[in-house]
Amino acid sequence: MTCSEALFERAQRSIPGGVNSPVRAFTSVGGTPRFIAAAQGAWLTDADGRRYVDYVGSWGPMILGHQHPAITAALEAQLAIGISYGAPTELEIEMAELLCARVPGLEQVRMCNSGTEATMSALRLARGATGRDYILKFEGCYHGHGDALLVKAGSGLLTFGVPTSPGVPADLAKYTLTAQFNDLDSVQALFDAHRDAIAAVIVEPVAGNMNCVPPAPGFLEGLRALCDRDGALLIFDEVMTGFRVGPRGAAGLYGITPDLITLGKIIGAGLPVGAFGGRRDIMQRLAPAGPVYQAGTLSGNPLAMAAGLAQLRALDDAALYARLEATTAELLAGLREAAQRAGVPFSTTQVGSMFGLYFTDRGTPTRYADVIACNLDAFKRFFHAMLDGGVYLAPSAYEAGFVSAAHGREEIDHTLGAAAAAMDAIRR
Ligand code: PMP
C-alpha cells in the first residue's frame, strides 16, 4: 500500500469522501488521489516522495509557481506583525487601489474569502440594485456553490453528473435561467420570455469549468448589448480568468466592460480570498454605504492581502505574460504532435496560460454539448499514464489546465516525454 492509499483510507473515516472539495477525490478518473507533501516551483511532491510537474497550480492561483520568494517574504513580514485584526488596514486599501487600477470597469471593490462568496454577493447586490429576481447563467459554467448558482453548473457537478444539487429548493432554482455558452439566440430567447425581470447575466468570459472554451467572436459583445437593452447587469466571473488570461483579465483581453466583476484565486496567491466590484453607483448600495448586506469576519485578511499584493505586483509585467503564453503554446503544440504521431484524435484550446485538452475527432469544442461528447475513456487513460509519468493534470475532463511562470524547458520536456508514452498507451 502506498502512503497516499493509506492516507486516503484514513481520510475517508473523518472527512466525507476523504476530501474537502469533491474533484480532488479522483472519482471520475478512478484510482487514489495523491496526497501532497510539498511543492516547489512547477513541481509537486506527494506523500510517497514521487514528483510531478503541476498543471493544476492549486486550480489557478499559483501563476508564479509554488513558494515564489516574493510571496514567501511578504507572508513572513506580515506574520511578524499580526495574522488577523478584524479592523481595517492600509493593506486592504492598497489591494483595492491596485485592483481598480488594473481591472477594467472596477471602480470600487469589496474583499471576501472565496470565489463562491464573491459570486453569491455579486448576485445579491445585482438583485438589490435592480429590484429584479431572475439571474441568467450558462450551462456548464461554474460560479461556486451558492444555492442559486448550483443549477446546471460545471466543474465538480459535471464530473459527478449532478445537474442541480439536492438541497437547492425548487422555489429558489426557478429564478436561475440557463442559456447555452456561445449561443446568443438562447440568451435572447430568455430575455424575450422574462422581459424586465432579469437582474443579471453571469458568465465565465472564458469557460473554465467545462474544460476550457473561449468565447466565440461577438459572444461577449452580444451579452453586453442584450443586457443594456433590457436593463440587466452583466457580471463577468473572473475568479479563474482574472490576472490569468492577461494582465487585465478577460475584460481587458476582449475589450468588454461588465457592470460587476468577481475575482479570486490569483489575487490571493494561494491564500483563501475572493473579491467583487464594479460600477461605483452599484457598489455604493452595499452595506454600510447602502442597504444590501454582505460581511466577513476574515475578509481582507492581512496575510491574504500581503500575499496577493506581492503576487499582483510581480504580475505587473507584460513580458511575463508573453512568456507564459509562449510556454503554454509550446506545451500544446507538443501534445498535439504526440497525439498525431500516435494516431489519437485530439485537439486543444488556449487563452494565455489557461488551456483545454480534448480527445475528439469532431474538431475543437465551442459549445457545452461538444465538450460532453468528447471521449472520456481516452481522457482517463491519458490522465493516469501522465500521472505515472510524473505529470499532474486536473483529475477531471471538465477542468482547465494552468501553466505557471516556473514551467520552463525542463518541465515542458518532461511533460512531452510522458505524453509520447501516454498517447501510445491510449491507442493500444
Ligand atoms: N467562479 C469560477 C469561475 C470558478 O472557477 C470558481 C472555482 N473554481 C468559483 C467561482 C468558486 O470559487 P471558490 O472555489 O474559491 O469558492
User: What confidence tens digit (pLDDT) does each residue in 301-348 have?
Assistant: 999 999 999 999 999 999 999 999 999 999 999 999 999 999 999 999
Q: What is the pLDDT of residue 155?
A: 61
Q: What is the mean pLDDT of residues 372-395?
A: 97
Residues 6+ apart with CB under 8 A from 163: 151, 152, 157
**Whether residue 420 has pLDDT greater than 60:** yes
Percent of the chain with pLDDT over 70: 97
Please tell me the least confidently modeled range out of 144-153, 271-280, 386-395: 144-153
Residue 335 exposure: Cα atoms within 13 Å on the Cβ side:
23
140 Cβ closer than 6 Å to some ligand 1 atom: no
Q: 395: how many CB neighbours lie within 10 A of its CB? A: 23
Computed over every residue of the chain, the mean pLDDT equals: 96
CA of 237 to the centre of ligand 1 (A): 9
Please tell me the least confidently modeled range out of 149-158, 176-185, 361-370: 149-158
Q: What is the mean pLDDT of residues 176-185?
A: 96
Q: Which of 143, 147, 399 to mutate to test the pocket of ligand 1 (most atoms within 8 A of CB)?
A: 143
Sign of CA dihedral 222, 225, 226, 227: positive
Q: What is the pLDDT of residue 151?
A: 78
**Whether residue 165 has pLDDT greater than 90:** no
Separation between Cα atoms, residue 135 and residue 130, nearest integer Å:
11
As to burial, measured by CB atoms within 10 angstroms (0-12 exposed, 13-18 middle, 19+ buried), residue 221 is middle
Going by alpha carbons, the residue nearest to atom 1 of ligand 1 is 143
Q: What is the mean pLDDT of residues 349-358?
A: 98
Q: What is the pLDDT of residue 170?
A: 83
Q: What is the largest CA-CA distance in the chain?
A: 63
Separation between Cα atoms, residue 351 and residue 212, nearest integer Å:
8
Length of the chain measured in residues = 428
Separation between Cα atoms, residue 183 and residue 370, nearest integer Å:
13
CA of 372 to the centre of ligand 1 (A): 20
Q: Which residues pair with 402 in a beta bridge?
A: 354
CA of 424 to the centre of ligand 1 (A): 34
| Number of separate helices (H) and strands (E) present in the chain | 15, 14
Which residues are identified as catalytic? 142, 237, 265
308 Cβ closer than 6 Å to some ligand 1 atom: no
Separation between Cα atoms, residue 406 and residue 363, nearest integer Å:
31
Q: 99: how many CB neighbours lie within 10 A of its CB? A: 23
Beta strands 233-237 and 260-264 are parallel
Q: Which of 181, 209, 299 to mutate to test the pocket of ligand 1 (most atoms within 8 A of CB)?
A: 209
Residue 59 CA: which ligand 1 atom is closest?
Answer: 8
Structure confidence by residue, pLDDT tens digits, 15-64: 999 999 999 999 999 999 999 999 999 999 999 999 999 999 999 999 99
Sign of CA dihedral 290, 291, 293, 298: positive
**Whether residue 383 has pLDDT greater than 60:** yes
C-alpha distances in Å from residue 317, one per residue of 310, 323, 330, 405: 13, 10, 20, 12
Q: 397: how many CB neighbours lie within 10 A of its CB? A: 27
**Whether residue 171 has pLDDT greater than 80:** yes
Q: Among candidates 216, 42, 73, which has minimal Cα distance to 138?
A: 216
Q: What is the edge-to-edge ordering of all strands in the sheet holding 233-237?
A: 108-112, 274-278, 260-264, 233-237, 198-203, 134-138, 176-179
CA of 413 to the centre of ligand 1 (A): 31
Q: What is the pLDDT of residue 304?
A: 98
Q: Which residues pair with 354 in a beta bridge?
A: 351, 402
Q: Which of 142, 263, 266, 276 to mutate to test the pocket of ligand 1 (most atoms within 8 A of CB)?
A: 142
**Whether residue 169 has pLDDT greater than 90:** no
Structure confidence by residue, pLDDT tens digits, 53-86: 999 999 999 999 999 999 999 999 999 999 999 9
**Whether residue 173 has pLDDT greater than 80:** yes
Identity of residue 291: P
C-alpha cell at 98: 491596485
Q: What is the mean pLDDT of residues 202-221?
A: 98
pLDDT band, residue 159 (cuts 50/70/90)? low
Q: What is the mean pLDDT of residues 232-240?
A: 98
414 Cβ closer than 6 Å to some ligand 1 atom: no
C-alpha cell at 160: 459527478
Q: What is the pLDDT of residue 172?
A: 87
At residue 299, φ and ψ (nearest 5 deg) are: -60, 135
